[in-house]
Amino acid sequence: MRQAGRSLPEYRSLREGIGMLDSCLNPPIATEITLQPVRRHGVDAAIFFSDIVVPLRLAGVDVDIKPGVGPVMDQAYRTPEDVARLVERTLDDDALAPIREAVALTVAELGGTPLIGFGGAPFTLAAYLVEGRPSRDHLAARTLMHADPQTWDRLVAWTADLTGAFLRAQVLAGASAVQLFDSWAGSLSLADYQARVAPSSARALSAVAGLRAVANVPAGADLSAGGPGDGDGDGTGDGAGVGVPAIHFGTGTGHLLGAMRDVLTTAGIADRTVGVDYRTPLDEALALVGDGVSLQGNIDPALLAAPWDVLEAHVRDVVARGAQAPGHVVNLGHGVPPETDPAVLTRVVETVHAL
């Protein structure tokens, strides 16, 4: 989960003197940071070290990640003119070279451990652009959505295409699954989500729906037409068979879980997982997303600092409630607090493996 590395001393020492976005765009550094939690905690998958705003930077937007704050833009993009200038920018293949290189290096180092790639959902990215920086209620973004729906739709179509290109580059370079982070979607009503957000999220995910995750295809599998992909080695194909699995995550989304599943379906994702924060128990989440959908989550990050017996009981409960789902990616319900004792995280992983 986001910023997992921040609790690790080896992460902090590697990051000394190097900006966040510069680390993301330096393939050997991004690879090493991705591997650190895998080595230390023995988790079953790695999450690519990058950030949801990296594609904005690669498209030429003046964005920085400020320590202790998060993504900050050179300006708030709110008027039709601001948005018109923004959407002229494109993210071409050349600009994505450091991402492809970092993913390829990481996958080679990981051996059999899968790599989860990710991107920011169009709404969450647009929320940073319209506000210009992190915000609590995303008021300016939600205002624009209603005050000028045409400008809003232009903006989220553009952020969708950026994230789509970012996800696609990661899958083609060897990521085994993707996760779309719509961290702030919980601030929306279901009606607004469905009308003004869900179509662009589906647009972003559709960029990878026809791809097979190369690392998921068993050696010697028949990759000819009709199987996963068309076998021409470019990762594209007819979409039949195993497509890249996708996880769709947000926080405060108890009222949106069914709609978030629908985004995966509309995008043409066959292997669908809905991420659940710590607010909705997984058995309730399962009833909302229905059959054939896996779940991710939903250990409460606050409990990482509680006495071990309290945390352990919670972890057991989360695993038990997730057991009815076709699949359960055990994870935190949101990011690891930076002050978390890494030994506690290792113990959680051991406990889940034992269960």
Answer for the pair 304, 340: CB distance below 8 angstroms, yes or no. yes
Q: Quote the CA–CA distance of 104 and 102 in Å, as a whole number.
A: 6
Answer for the pair 129, 92: CB distance below 8 angstroms, yes or no. no
Q: Binding of ligand 1CP at residue 329 (CB under 6 A)?
A: no
Q: Which of 30, 52, 73, 325 binds ligand 1CP (CB under 6 A)?
A: 52
Residue 12 or 85: which CB sits closer to ligand 1CP?
A: 12
Q: Binding of ligand 1CP at residue 337 (CB under 6 A)?
A: no
Q: Which of 8, 20, 115, 315 binds ligand 1CP (CB under 6 A)?
A: 20
Residue 47 or 247: which CB sits closer to ligand 1CP?
A: 47
Least Å distance, CB 23 to ligand 1CP, is 8
Q: Binding of ligand 1CP at residue 246 (CB under 6 A)?
A: no
Least Å distance, CB 26 to ligand 1CP, is 14
Site for ligand 1CP in 31-50 (CB under 6 A): 47, 49-50
Q: Which of 13, 16, 17, 67 binds ligand 1CP (CB under 6 A)?
A: 67
Q: Binding of ligand 1CP at residue 6 (CB under 6 A)?
A: yes
Residue 63 or 223: which CB sits closer to ligand 1CP?
A: 63
Q: Binding of ligand 1CP at residue 181 (CB under 6 A)?
A: yes
Residue 1 or 352: which CB sits closer to ligand 1CP?
A: 1
Q: Which stretch binds ligand 1CP (CB under 6 A): 4-12, 86-94, 146-154, 202-210?
A: 4-12
Q: Which of 98, 114, 132, 134 binds ligand 1CP (CB under 6 A)?
A: 134
Q: Binding of ligand 1CP at residue 303 (CB under 6 A)?
A: no
Least Å distance, CB 118 to ligand 1CP, is 5
Q: Binding of ligand 1CP at residue 335 (CB under 6 A)?
A: yes
**339 phi and psi angles, rounded to 5 deg:** -85, 5
Least Å distance, CB 67 to ligand 1CP, is 5
Where on the chain is the footprint of ligand 1CP (CB under 6 A)?
1-6, 15, 20, 47, 49-52, 65, 67, 70-71, 118, 124, 134, 181, 183, 335
